[in-house]
């Protein structure tokens, strides 16, 4: 039986600011999420972006963009399959 539930990505914890910059046109989290959904981070070779790809890429990219000042979080069921999110056109 597969676990069911919701996966929630948050831009930051409740005690952090979510950084925005006019040069991005939005926040660091949004920039990193858009990059991940476009396949940046090296997962375009497989043609599919998975939950774990987004989780890892967004976390590291936001830390990089904010010099460690913002760390996104993910809430998900303990037992959940690594789900495909988007197929990248190749």
pLDDT tens-digit profile of 40-83? 866 656 678 888 889 999 999 999 999 999 999 999 888 887 87
**Which pLDDT value is given to residue 69?**
93
- Give the residue-averaged pLDDT of 14-18: 90
DSSP 26: E
CA of 72: how far to CAs of 48, 50, 55, 87, 88, in Å?
22, 17, 9, 23, 24
Three-state SS at 79: coil
* pLDDT tens-digit map of 27-51: 999 999 999 888 786 665 667 888 8
- For residues 34-61, one letter each, b for 16 or more C-beta atoms within 10 angstroms of the residue's C-beta and e for the rest, the string is eebbebebebeeeeebbbebbbebbbeb
Looking up tokens 């069921």, which residue turns up? 77
**Which pLDDT value is given to residue 66?**
95
Work out the pLDDT band at 85, boundaries 50, 70, 90. Answer: confident
Q: Are strands 84-87 and 48-50 parallel, antiparallel or unpaired?
A: antiparallel
Domains annotated for the chain, with CATH where assigned, are 8-87 (3.30.70)
């Amino acid at each position: 039986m597969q676990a069911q539930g919701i996966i929630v990505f948050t831009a930051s914890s409740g005690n952090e600011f979510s950084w925005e910059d006019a040069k991005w046109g939005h926040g660091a989290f949004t920039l990193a999420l858009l990059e991940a959904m476009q396949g940046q981070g090296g997962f375009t070779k497989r043609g599919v972006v998975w939950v774990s790809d987004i989780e890892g890429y967004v976390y590291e990219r936001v830390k990089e963009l904010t010099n460690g000042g913002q760390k996104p979080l993910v809430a998900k069921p303990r037992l959940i399959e690594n789900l495909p999110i988007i197929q990248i056109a190749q």
